[in-house]
Structure 1
Amino acid sequence: MRTDPEHTALPPTPPTQIRVAVVIDRQHQPSRWEDWRFTLADVALDDGQYGDTPRLLRDDGKAAQFLFPGLPVELRRDEGEGYFLNLTSGAPVWFVMWRIDEEDPSRAWPERVTLSYNEAGRLLDAQERVDNRPLPAEVRDWLQAYTDAHYRPEPKKRRRPVSFVAPDQRD
């Protein structure tokens, strides 16, 4: 999904919440073992240019693409470590949790978008589907500024080897 540069820039004073649009691709019978396969195609900043209603972008009978606009991404102080881990991973990403309709397995939609590595891990631990897409530079800079302002990593403490700790002080 391509957008104009003026639609992808964050405001000069970054908010703690932005909106994004998610694009999901669907393939019909990609193999003889699957009826449907879904993939996360794109995540883009959404300042309202995509509307408020999910919609089908294209469908040729074999492959379809769906747009889900208006999903909130909120930065919270209690997720600072998760943002820090995402930023220091070497390749920061959007994490998108999405679901497949149990009654109609040809339908899937995104439920949540986060920038926290820890939140994505909790969702995966809960057996949710979580995929990721690369984070654009302007969002990475926004996340970095927020993390720098609100998160301080715990100082690393050197643990003494057990052999140097008195027997009555060992765990």
Structure 2
Amino acid sequence: MRCERITNRWQPWRWVLAEVVPHEPAFGAEPRKLRDDAEGMSWLFPDFEVALFRDEAEGYWLNLESPAPCWFVLWRLDEVQEPDAIPLARPVAVSLSYHEAGRWLDAQETVEQVPAPEPVLDTLRAFVAEHYVPEPRRRKRPDSFQPLQDRFGNPASVSTGKPQRGGGGHG
């Protein structure tokens, strides 16, 4: 995660997702500050597990079909005790599922994305090829076979006879 200084009267900084990288043992298991200077700061949050689930296969497929397949990262700001302190932005979850990211966004969470590297996408493609089965398309009934309803949803009918005008007879 990267904290950048910005020129804004109400907020002098903002957090952004910098990148998602494969875990290496040298990273350890605890978050650590990589940089802190006048321009901002960077933090490394190691040891996130990304598991693939069969019931998310459609979400992975949608990610792969997008113009730029990516990692989705849900992150939250820590509570701060000091008035001028910058809260730390902590990743909470990482996913490759378009559906999972959508659920996070529906829950009003902060979700950012960064491009996924080709080796990760190759693994994801193999998983999708094995587990994603598109739902068969159901034939849509033509509108002429649908029951007629008025604008309020009540049953309606159509008459094909000529309307009767006047009192009925010529006299």
TM-score range, shorter chain: 0.7 to 0.9
TM-score (norm 1): 0.78
Distance, in Å, in 2 between the alignment partners of 1:166 and 1:29 is: 59
**Cα pair distance change 1:30/1:69, threshold 3 Å:** farther
Give the 5 Å matches for 1:22-171.
Answer: 24-28=1-5, 30-103=7-80, 105-165=86-146
3-state DSSP of counterpart to 1:71: coil
The answer as to whether partners of 2:34 and 2:43 remain within 8 angstroms in 1 is yes
3-state DSSP of counterpart to 1:43: coil
The answer as to whether partners of 2:79 and 2:87 remain within 8 angstroms in 1 is no
User: What is the Cα deviation at residue 26 of structure 1?
Assistant: 0.5
**Cα pair distance change 1:49/1:147, threshold 3 Å:** farther
Distance, in Å, in 2 between the alignment partners of 1:137 and 1:149 is: 18
Residues 35-57 of structure 1, C-alpha deviation per residue, up to 9 Å, x if partnerless? 43000001011142322111000
User: What is the Cα deviation at residue 29 of structure 1?
Assistant: 5.1
Distance, in Å, in 2 between the alignment partners of 1:34 and 1:166 is: 57
Distance, in Å, in 2 between the alignment partners of 1:131 and 1:35 is: 20
The answer as to whether partners of 1:30 and 1:37 remain within 8 angstroms in 2 is no
User: What is the Cα deviation at residue 106 of structure 1?
Assistant: 2.3
**Cα pair distance change 1:166/1:32, threshold 3 Å:** closer
**Alignment gaps of 5+ in structure 1:** 1-23
3-state DSSP of counterpart to 2:49: strand
Distance, in Å, in 2 between the alignment partners of 1:106 and 1:117 is: 28
- The structure with more strand, counted as a fraction of residues: 1
Q: Aligned residue pairs: how many?
A: 145
**Alignment gaps of 5+ in structure 2:** 149-171
